[in-house]
């Protein structure tokens, strides 16, 4: 809402949303990162078959998210943003609970795809936070949302990896369900209902003067930002969807590490995700001193440059260090993109715009794993083309964004010139 008269308890409300979202992400990442290991253990998949099914499990949920996210965004604007976040958590509890009983890779894929379509919580949490956050605190709140997301992504894989090593993958699913139930309880207990579209219409005349300066819903620069979200999702998911297999191949020949695959993957992911959280805070601080477009460029280029050394890591400890540095730069990407989208989206259409943006993110997350899988198969299990393609795509996006910013400074300098203080 970016309102000038925020809720008197807005900080507690935003804090509760952040905590609920952290729990939500932690819950899902208890299970999702070890799905390739579950495929290998439960269904005896190896080699090219394992690679293909891993790609399908990454692409399926993203495809469903691409289809349904705009619908949830429109419904959030119409019926309320808290309701959509609660809906995501409740359906997650049901779908992940059913995963405990899968008997084939296809059954797991179907449920994973349904999960992607019905449980997308990040876009719902984003617009709910924007509804309660005062205008001057938007960048900080979006950065804290990234911190919450990646702290959750750090906790989840560590728990999931340890549980997998000790008890096998079946127990990961009910643990996810319990954590999701706690998150839903926090949301319902501490976050009040937000105004629906019909309630907001009562205030339309009072706010019309400020909305006259609002941007068109499809401002050309907004289209570019959504396109960047799509392309960055491809670049990141090219590698991320296959990273577990990459680590597995790296340590497969070391007998003393064979029974620690889950824990080692969890440790690398936890370290990387904590680095994303730290990066989000660091780039948020940086935005107080330099313009947001520069922070975005630094983040994208930094992530691209640290993709390449991961190919040449001699052991998993070196990979952990390089992956952590790359992830620090990744932390600056999403808050900057979301802030620009907030500035260019009409206030009454933020749910819809963020839903569309999340849909294109889902499309990128669908195509990325499929492209990564094909590159890996065609290169006969050589990961170099995967990492190089992701890096080159990010560098190309940085160059395109620089050109677009140069043009936008002439057309809409009051929108582009964005620091946290504005």
Structure tokens at 378: 């065609």
Give percent of the chain above pLDDT 90: 41
Residue 258 confidence class, pLDDT cut points 50, 70, 90 = low
- Among residues 410, 396, 376, 395, the alpha carbon closest in space to that of 36 is found at 376
How buried is 258 (Cβ within 10 angstroms: 0-12 exposed, 13-18 middle, 19+ buried)? exposed
Note the pLDDT tens digit of each residue in 13-55: 999 999 999 999 999 989 877 788 888 888 888 878 888 888 8
Dihedral (Cα; 213, 214, 216, 217), 10-degree rounding: 180
Residue 1 covered by a domain: no
- Nearby residues of 266 by Cβ (< 8 Å), 6 or more positions away: 33, 157, 158, 159, 160, 161, 162
Radius of gyration of the chain (CA): 21
Token couple for 225: 């930002």
Full domain range(s) for residue 292: 10-194+213-416
pLDDT of residue 331: 93
Return d(Cα 281, Cα 352) in angstroms, integer: 27
Per-residue model confidence (pLDDT) at position 95: 95
Residue range 269-294: mean pLDDT, rounded:
89
335 touches 376 (CB < 8 A)? no
The yes-or-no verdict on residue 115 having pLDDT over 60 is yes
pLDDT tens digits for 117-146?
998 788 889 989 989 999 878 888 988 998
- CA dist 193 and 195 (Å) reads 7
Most confident of 50-54, 200-204, 311-315: 311-315
Q: What is the mean pLDDT of residues 285-299?
A: 90
pLDDT single digits (tens) 321-380: 999 999 999 999 998 998 899 888 887 787 888 889 988 988 888 889 889 989 998 998
Mean pLDDT of the chain: 86
Question: CA-to-CA distance for 313 and 319, rounded, in angstroms?
Answer: 5
- Distance set, CA 322 to CA 193, 303, 309, 318, 349 (Å): 43, 10, 7, 6, 40
Q: Is residue 24 part of a domain?
A: yes
What pLDDT score was predicted for residue 215?
44
For residue 166, the model assigns a pLDDT of 85
Examine the pLDDT at 401 and tell me if it is beyond 50. Answer: yes
* CATH number reported for the structural domain that contains residue 24 in this entry: 1.20.1250.20
pLDDT surpassing 90 at residue 170: no
Report the pLDDT value the prediction gives residue 329, as an integer from 0 to 100.
Answer: 97
In-domain check, residue 299 = yes
**If you average pLDDT over residues 209-222, what whole number do you get?**
59
Judged against a pLDDT cut of 90, whether residue 154 lies above it is answered with no
Q: What is the pLDDT of residue 422?
A: 42
pLDDT at 214 over 80: no
Q: Which ranges of 261-382 would DSSP assign to H, the alpha helix?
A: 261-286, 292-305, 316-330, 333-344, 350-378
pTM: 0.76
Mean pLDDT value of segment 62-70: 87
Task: Give the confidence band of 112 by pLDDT, cuts at 50, 70, 90.
Answer: very high
203 within domain boundaries: no
pLDDT band at 230 (very low <50, low <70, confident <90, very high): very high
Q: How far apart are CA 2 and CA 105, in angstroms?
A: 44
Q: What is the pLDDT of residues 183-195, one digit of tens each?
A: 999 999 999 988 6
Q: What is the pLDDT of residue 31?
A: 87
Q: Can you give the pLDDT at residue 408? A: 86
Count of domains forming the chain: 1
């Amino acid at each position: 809402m970016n309102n000038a008269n925020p809720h008197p308890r807005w900080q507690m409300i935003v804090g509760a949303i952040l905590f609920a979202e952290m729990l939500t992400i932690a819950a899902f990442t208890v299970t999702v990162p070890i799905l390739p290991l579950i495929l290998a253990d439960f269904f005896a998949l190896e080699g090219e078959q394992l690679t293909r099914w891993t790609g399908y499990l990454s692409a399926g949920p993203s495809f469903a998210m691409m289809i349904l996210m705009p619908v949830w965004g429109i419904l959030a604007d119409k019926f309320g943003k808290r309701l959509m976040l609660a809906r995501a958590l409740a359906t997650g509890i049901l779908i992940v609970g059913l995963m405990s009983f899968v008997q084939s890779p296809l059954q797991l894929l179907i449920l994973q795809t349904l999960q992607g379509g019905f449980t997308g919580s990040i876009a719902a949490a984003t617009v709910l936070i924007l509804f309660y956050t005062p205008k001057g605190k938007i960048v900080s709140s979006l950065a804290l949302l990234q911190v919450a997301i990646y702290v959750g992504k750090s906790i989840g894989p560590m728990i999931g990896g340890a549980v997998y090593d000790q008890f096998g993958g079946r127990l990961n699913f009910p643990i996810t369900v319990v954590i999701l139930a706690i998150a839903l309880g926090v949301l319902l207990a501490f976050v009040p209902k937000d105004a629906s579209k019909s309630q907001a219409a009562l205030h339309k005349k009072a706010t019309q003067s400020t909305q006259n300066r609002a941007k068109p819903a499809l401002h050309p620069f907004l289209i570019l930002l959504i396109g960047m979200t799509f392309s960055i999702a491809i670049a990141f998911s090219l590698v991320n969807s296959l990273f577990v297999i990459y680590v597995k191949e790296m340590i497969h020949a070391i007998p003393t590490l064979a029974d620690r695959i889950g824990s080692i993957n969890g440790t690398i992911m936890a370290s990387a995700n904590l680095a994303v959280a730290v990066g989000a805070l660091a780039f948020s601080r940086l935005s107080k001193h330099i313009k947001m477009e520069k922070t975005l460029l630094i983040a994208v280029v930094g992530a691209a440059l640290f993709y390449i050394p991961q190919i040449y890591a001699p052991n998993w400890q070196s990979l952990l260090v390089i992956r952590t540095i790359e992830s620090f730069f990744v932390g600056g990407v999403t808050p900057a993109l979301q802030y620009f989208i907030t500035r260019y989206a009409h206030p009454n259409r933020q749910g819809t715009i963020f839903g569309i943006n999340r849909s294109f993110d889902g499309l990128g997350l669908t195509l990325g794993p499929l492209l990564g899988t094909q590159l890996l198969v065609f290169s006969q299990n050589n990961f170099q083309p995967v990492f190089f393609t992701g890096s080159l795509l990010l560098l190309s996006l940085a160059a395109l964004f620089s050109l677009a910013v140069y043009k936008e400074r002439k057309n809409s300098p009051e929108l582009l010139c964005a620091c946290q203080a504005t």
